[in-house]
Structure 1
Amino acid sequence: MTDAIVVEGLRKRFGEKAALDGLDLVARRGTVHGVLGPNGAGKTTAVRVLATLLRADEGRVEVAGHDVRRRPDEVRGRIGLLGQHAAVDEELSGRQNLDMFGRLHHLGARHARVRADELLERFGLADAGRKAVKRYSGGMRRRLDLAASLITDPEVLFLDEPTTGLDPRGRAEVWESVRSLVGGGTTVLLTTQYLEEADQLADRISVIDCGRVIAHGTADELKARLGGDRIDVVVRDAGQLARVAELLPGGATVDADRRLVSAPAEDRMKALTGVVRALQDAGVDAEDVAVRRPTLDEVFLSLTGRTGEGEPGERTDEGEPRERTKEGV
């Protein structure tokens, strides 16, 4: 399997701020590579450089086998970009939107119409193709936006926080579309602040902070950095927390607000049965006992010291307010 994206020593400054400070990243063909990072970590700046929308100060970047700096036109002909905000026209129908994008990409009138119909069918929008986009649900609108980014059948697709603002159903619809794309051979670079999204979709994940990669691997490899499985006990009476901490294996932590005691568990089933028996023998009234794997949220917090969730009105890596329109390629 060859590499679809290769980034080495990427640097980009905006005045005194280093948005990218020696970023290294490799994404294999036909996979989803997730990029996680807190606000201002450099995610969007990296996507803009890879998509030829920004020129890097230093470093080497290859996308689909072509150098971004030396052959930007070759790169543009092989990529698609889905930004954080929809690019479709709400007054036009879904089919009219896709036909327009096809013509803008010089497909020709007939080819544009055929491609529009293909994409509507592919994304489950054929029945809604003649409806105005303003009548679409959030998930349908985002799927149409995703279809528009694929009008030229790109080898590499950049998804910059593609499900921001969607409800769980809409998010699930987009996830299914992304899985279908990758199954067809498309390479996806996904930036997201929804850690569950990276867990669900990404084959490999790069965690970035302050413009550089601070950890990378599969979701399971990243979770293993926190020591594997844990056993959680939630008690009904907070006065029993100290007693439960004594009964659990070494390294137990106590969260008084949640009435929770958590400890490492080397053997899932042995730990579970042993703890349940010990709690019963000690007369502890437990509300819940469970063995779980660490979440990406916990990994993210341990690596960066902060959560990955963004706030409304967040600012870009350059320090300017985010634009409300989608960037085109």
Structure 2
Amino acid sequence: MPAISFQGVTKVYQGGQGPFRALDGVSFDIAEGEFFGLLGPNGAGKTTLISILAGLARATEGRVTVMGHDVVSDFAQARHALGIVPQELVFDPFFSVRETLRIQSGYFGVRHNDDWIDEVLAGLGLADKANANMRQLSGGMKRRVLVAQALVHRPPVIVLDEPTAGVDVELRQTLWQFVARLNQQGHTVLLTTHYLEEAEALCGRIAMLKRGQIVALDRTSNLLHAAGGSMLRFKTDDALPPALQARARVTGRIAQVSARDAADVEAVLAQLRAAGVRVEDLEIGRADLEDVFLAIMQGTATPAPAPRQEVPA
């Protein structure tokens, strides 16, 4: 039995300009104990899919289950099996951190939960803020409390929707250490993030959404292997020649250019020399998940979605 199953999920919104298909026949399973990544550009349908999973929206077609419980017909059991960390900072300004977690425990009928609350607070670096009012916390600390609220009833499935957006490095490290430990203990984790280095480091399998459809679904290692080739990374203050500009990814002074093989690497370097481009800190490495993601979204690479039955046991 998969921890999460999406079966032909379609969501159509009725708007002033006619129907808009936010999701179009999305189907995949996430096995128990997996650390699974769901990636896609803004507007791809990730939040819609998670809203359906959480019971906040209803699919136009298809079925979603959590630990075998249908999110519509068996909502209570499905919701009890989920712990969801939303993108938005939502908090009650009238309670302390500990009171907030006790109230959240009560929503799920969990009593005498202080031992686990203490463990969650310690794991997320919130122990010294336990009695602080929520209004007194910084944005990063409030996000830690959101994570704690999602975990307070010990759900077998944890959904992290952009959990590290706009937070500091310390929180990211603390969060991932704690969540990785929960995953090692058997919890299933579904992560959406725009920090692709996090997905590459943490997720065993990844699905990529584009315009409401799955365009890639495979093990992370397979996606990276399929990219092949090399990536030249260097710093420069000069403009790249047009032929390279079309295939480069430039962030400030850092340029990255893909190369198929050793001959292509030499050709790129020759073009840079011929154009008089001054290069600093040149590195040659393999493509990372960001390179794979951009290639798939831009249509220059199209890994075939993995069959549904290829789900880790």
Q: Structure 2 stretches of 5 or more lacking a match?
A: 300-313
Deviates further, 136-145 or 55-64: 136-145
Q: Separation in 2 of the partners of 1:259 and 1:139?
A: 29
Aligned to 1:325: none
Q: Matched residues in 2 for 1:3 and 1:73: separation?
A: 18
Per-residue Cα deviation, 1:231-289 (whole angstroms, up to 9, x for no partner): 446578779x79xx9xxxxxx9678996968453658xx9999x99xx99xxx975232
Whole-Å Cα distance in 2 between the matches of residues 87 and 19 of structure 1? 25
CA contact (8 A) 2:36 2:190 kept: yes
Partner SS state of residue 170, structure 2: helix
Distance in 1 (alpha carbons) for counterparts of 2:208 and 2:33: 20
Give the counterpart of 2:84 among 76, 81, 84: 81
Q: Secondary structure at the match of 2:155?
A: coil
- CA 1:181/1:39 → structure 2, altered by over 3 Å: closer, same or farther? same
Paired residue for 1:288? 281
1:170/1:233 Cα in 2 relative to 1: closer, same or farther (>3 Å)?
Answer: closer
CA distance in 2, matches of 1:96, 1:255: 48
Deviation string 1:192-224 (CA, Å, 9 cap, x unpaired) is 222223223222110001111000223332233
Aligned residues of 1:103 and 1:112 also touching (Cα < 8 A): no
Contact 1:238-1:259 at 8 Å conserved across structures: no
Name structure 1 gaps, 5 residues minimum: 246-251, 307-329
Q: Tell me which residue corresponds to 1:14.
A: 13
Pair 1:298–1:140, CA change in 2 (3 A)? same
Change (3 A) 1:212 1:286: closer
1:92 matched to 2:95: yes
Aligned to 1:316: none
| Matched residue count | 290
In structure 2, relative to structure 1, the CA distance for the partners of 1:124 and 1:170 (3 Å cut) is closer
Counterpart among 265, 268, 290 of residue 297 in structure 1 = 290
Higher relative contact order, structure no. (Cα contacts within 8 Å, ≥ 6 residues apart): 1
Letter in 2 for 1:127: D
Residue 163 of structure 1: aligned partner? 164
Residues 1:58 and 2:61 are matched in the alignment: yes
Q: Residues 51 and 272 of structure 1: is their aligned pair in 2 closer, same or farther, counting only changes over 3 Å?
A: same
Secondary structure of the residue that 1:290 maps to in structure 2?
strand
**Aligned match for 1:264, one of 259, 267, 289:** 259
Give the counterpart letter for 1:59 in structure 2.
G
Does structure 2 retain, via aligned residues, the 8 Å contact 1:139–1:174?
A: no
Give 1:183-198 correspondences, 5 Å limit: 183-198=184-199
Where in structure 1 do 4 or more consecutive aligned residues deviate above 4 Å? 232-239, 252-261, 270-273
Matched AA of 1:134: R
> 1 CA distance for matches of 2:149 and 2:255?
47
2:222 is matched with 221
**Alpha carbons of structure 1 residues 133 and 234: separation in structure 2 relative to 1, 3 Å:** closer
Name the amino acid aligned to 1:88: F
For residues 307-328 of structure 1, the C-alpha deviation after alignment (integer angstroms, 9 at most, x for no partner) is xxxxxxxxxxxxxxxxxxxxxx
**Alpha carbons 2:232, 2:283 under 8 Å: kept:** yes
Q: In structure 1, how many angstroms separate the alpha carbons of the residues matched to 2:201 and 2:256?
A: 27
1:120-163: CA deviations, max 9, x gaps? 23333223212223333433322221111112111111111112
Q: 2:60, 2:239 → 1: CA distance?
A: 55
Are 2:123 and 2:174, in contact at CA under 8 Å, matched by a contact in 1?
Answer: no
> Secondary structure of the residue that 2:21 maps to in structure 1?
strand
Is residue 43 of structure 1 aligned with residue 46 of structure 2?
yes
8 Å CA contact retained: 2:80, 2:108? no
In structure 1, what residue type is equivalent to 2:40?
G
Give the superposition deviation at 1:38. 1.3
* TM-score, reference length from structure 1: 0.74
Is the radius of gyration larger for structure 1 or structure 2?
1
| Aligned-pair Cα RMSD in Å | 3.6
| Residue 220 to residue 264, structure 1, CA distance change in 2 (3 Å) | farther
Bigger shift: 130-139 or 30-39? 130-139
Q: TM-score by structure 2 length?
A: 0.78
What secondary structure sits across from 1:3 in the alignment?
coil
1:113, 1:217 → 2: CA distance? 40
- Report SS of the residue matched to 2:43: coil
Separation of aligned partners in 2, 1:76 and 1:255: 42
Alpha-carbon deviation of 1:295? 2.8
- Cα 1:234/1:84, change in 2 over 3 Å: closer
- d(CA) in 2 for partners of 1:259 and 1:79? 41
Letter in 2 for 1:76: R
CA apart distance, 1:94? 1.5
Q: Is the 8 A contact 1:86 1:142 kept in 2?
A: yes
Question: Would the aligned equivalents of 2:36 and 2:189 in 1 still touch at CA under 8 Å?
Answer: yes
